[in-house]
Amino acid sequence: MYQDATRPYPAGSGPAGNDWSALPDSRGRFGDFGGMFVAETLVPPLKALEQAWRDAMADPAFLAGLDAFLANYVGRPSPLYFAERLSAHFGGAKIWFKRDELNHTGAHKINNCLGQILLARRMGKTRIIAETGAGQHGVASATVAARFGLPCVVYMGAVDVERQKPNVFRMNLLGAEVRPVNSGAATLKDAMNEAMRDWVTHVDDTFYIIGTAAGPHPYPALVRDFQAVIGREARTQIMAAEGRLPDALVACIGGGSNAIGLFHPFLADEAVKMYGIEAAGHGIDTGRHAAALTGGRPGVLHGNRTYLLQDGDGQITEAHSISAGLDYPGVGPEHSFLKECGRATYLSATDEEALDAFQLCARLEGILPALEPAHALARVGEIARDIGKDGLIIMNLCGRGDKDIFTIAEALKTRAGNSP
Amino acid sequence: MNTAAPTGFARIAARFAALAAEGRAGLVTYVMGGDPDIAHSGKILAAIAEAGADFIELGFPFTDPMADGPAIQAAGQRALAAGAGLAGILGLARRFRTQFPDIPLILMGYLNPVLAMGPVRFARSAREAGVDGAILVDLPPEEDLEIREVLAAEGIALIRLATPTTDASRLPTVLEGAAGFLYYVSLTGVTGQKSADAGDVGGALAALRQAAKLPIAVGFGVRTPEMAAAIARIADAVVVGSAIVEQIGAAAELGQPGNCAPRAAALVAELAAAVRNARL
Helix (H, G, I), strand (E, B) or coil at B188: coil
* Distance of alpha carbon B275 from alpha carbon B280, whole angstroms: 10
Helix (H, G, I), strand (E, B) or coil at B177: coil
Among chain B residues, CA nearest to A43: B140
Q: How many residues does chain B have?
A: 280
Q: How far is B112 from chain A (nearest CA, A)?
A: 5
pLDDT of amino acid A106: 96
H or E element in which residue A115 lies: helix A109-122
pLDDT of amino acid A419: 67
CATH number at residue B120: 3.20.20.70
Which residues of chain A lie closer than 8 angstroms to B196, CB-CB? none
Nearest CB to A300: which of B111, B160, B163?
Answer: B111
CB B228 within 8 A of CB B240: yes
Q: What is the DSSP secondary structure assignment for residue A71, as one 8-state letter?
A: I
pLDDT of amino acid A6: 38
Pairing of strands A80-82, A94-98: antiparallel
Strand order in the sheet with B55-59: B157-158, B133-136, B105-109, B55-59, B26-32, B237-240, B216-219, B182-185, B160-162
pLDDT of amino acid A3: 40
- Split into its structural domains, chain B has a count of 1
Q: Which amino acid is at A102?
A: L
CB A413 within 8 A of CB A393: no
Pairing of strands B182-185, B216-219: parallel
Query: A44 vs B69: CB contact, 8 Å cut-off?
Result: no
**Helix and strand tally (H, E) in chain B?**
12, 9
pLDDT of amino acid A182: 92
Helix (H, G, I), strand (E, B) or coil at B11: helix
pLDDT of amino acid A134: 82
Flag whether B247 is in a domain. Answer: yes
Flag whether B105 is in a domain. Answer: yes
Pick the residue of B38, B60, B62, B63 with the most A CBs within 10 A to test the interface with A by mutation.
B63
Q: Which amino acid is at A307?
A: Y
Residue B167: CB atoms within 10 Å = 10
Flag whether B1 is in a domain. Answer: no
CB B160 within 8 A of CB B176: no
Q: What is the DSSP secondary structure assignment for residue A324, as one 8-state letter?
A: G
pLDDT of amino acid A394: 98
* Distance of alpha carbon A248 from alpha carbon A387, whole angstroms: 8
pLDDT of amino acid A14: 42
Instruction: Tell me which residue of A262, A264, A246 sits closest to A397, measured CA to CA.
Output: A262
CA distances from B268 to A155, B54, B252 (A): 35, 10, 18
Its domain, for residue B87, covers: 7-15+25-277
Q: Does B208 touch chain A (CB under 8 A)?
A: no
pLDDT of amino acid A10: 36
Flag whether B49 is in a domain. Answer: yes
Q: How far is A52 from chain B (nearest CA, A)?
A: 17
Annotated active-site residue in B37, B68, B132, B246: B68
Mean pLDDT, chain A cut into blocks of 10 residues (420 residues total): 38 53 92 97 96 97 98 98 98 98 97 98 98 94 98 95 90 98 88 95 96 97 98 98 98 97 96 98 96 98 98 96 91 97 97 98 98 98 97 97 91 83
Considering only CA atoms, give the Rg of chain A. Answer: 20
**Helix and strand tally (H, E) in chain A?**
16, 14
- For chain B, the average pLDDT equals 95
Which residues of chain A lie closer than 8 angstroms to B76, CB-CB? none
Q: How far is B194 from chain A (nearest CA, A)?
A: 9
Instruction: Tell me which residue of A123, A108, A364 sits closest to A253, measured CA to CA.
Output: A108
Q: How far is B59 from chain A (nearest CA, A)?
A: 14
* Distance of alpha carbon A57 from alpha carbon A116, whole angstroms: 11
Flag whether B2 is in a domain. Answer: no
Does the pLDDT value for residue B241 go beyond 70? Answer: yes
pLDDT tens-digit readout, B143-197: 999 999 999 999 999 999 999 999 999 999 999 999 999 999 999 989 888 788 8
Pick the residue of B38, B60, B62, B64 with the most A CBs within 10 A to test the interface with A by mutation.
B64
Among chain A residues, CA nearest to B169: A44
Flag whether B20 is in a domain. Answer: no
Residues 6+ apart with CB under 8 A from A124: none
pLDDT tens-digit readout, B70-99: 999 999 999 999 999 999 999 999 999 999
Query: B115 vs A41: CB contact, 8 Å cut-off?
Result: no
Residues 6+ apart with CB under 8 A from A363: none
Q: What is the DSSP secondary structure assignment for residue B220, as one 8-state letter?
A: S
